[in-house]
Amino acid sequence: MNPSDEHEPPQTGTEESLLLDEIQRMYSAVDPVPATLVERLQFALDLESHEIEVLRPYEEVGLAAGVRGGEEARTITFDSDDLTIMISVSAQNTQTVRLDGWLAPPSDHVVELRTSEGPITVRADAQGRFVLDAVPLGLAQLVVRQALDDPRESRILAVTPSIVL
């Protein structure tokens, strides 16, 4: 075998080609590649820093908030050794949701929600509370940064896994 042959696909006969085509059709039918796989991978890899902590999803609870006319809310908690983020996601209409969030320990960090339509940035108050209003449905990810006067010097403190809103 030549070194140049290492990257060449092996030659197959007609029977092997038919068998490989049949195997490909079977896997496509039984276990297809998710339609959003490439988008999710690109979204997850699109962070500017590699020295960040990714928080673990700790809890996800669906609640029926009957007090507000039957609206449904979803509470998600992300946890690490240094930071906990809890968000409540409530539907506003068929296109958007509202995120009410809290950081623990409380601090006035910058909270960025990365969405497929672009980032939405807010600053948590001294009690760690933040609100993101009119968030589009779809894939999203929270990024928490230090709140510094010069945002370019602000380092990422934590990142959540991608979630679907």
What predicted TM-score, i.e. pTM, was given to this entire model? Answer: 0.65
Strands 71-79 and 84-91 come out as antiparallel
- What pLDDT sits at residue 125? 93
- Domain ranges for the chain: 47-164
In CATH, what class is 47-164? mainly beta
Query: Phi/psi zone of residue 69: left (φ > 0), alpha (ψ -120 to 50 degrees), beta?
Result: left
Contacts of residue 12, Cβ cutoff 8 Å, sequence gap at least 6? 20
Region 41-50: mean pLDDT is 58
Question: Mean per-residue pLDDT for 47-57?
Answer: 62
d(CA 15, CA 18): 5
Q: Please state, in angstroms and rounded to a whole number, the distance separating the CA atoms of residues 72 and 65.
A: 6
Q: What is the mean pLDDT of the chain?
A: 80
pLDDT of 81 reads: 85
Count CA atoms within 13 Å of residue 37 on its CB side. Answer: 4
Task: Check if the beta carbon of residue 47 is closer than 8 Å to that of residue 161.
Answer: no
Mode of pairing for the β-strands spanning 71-79 and 56-65: antiparallel
pLDDT at 5: 56
Which residues does residue 159 pair with via DSSP β-bridges, in sequence order?
Answer: 54, 143
Residue 161 has pLDDT above 70, yes or no: yes
The closest of 149, 97, 105, 150 to 124, measured between CA atoms, is: 105
Q: Is residue 153's pLDDT more than 80?
A: no
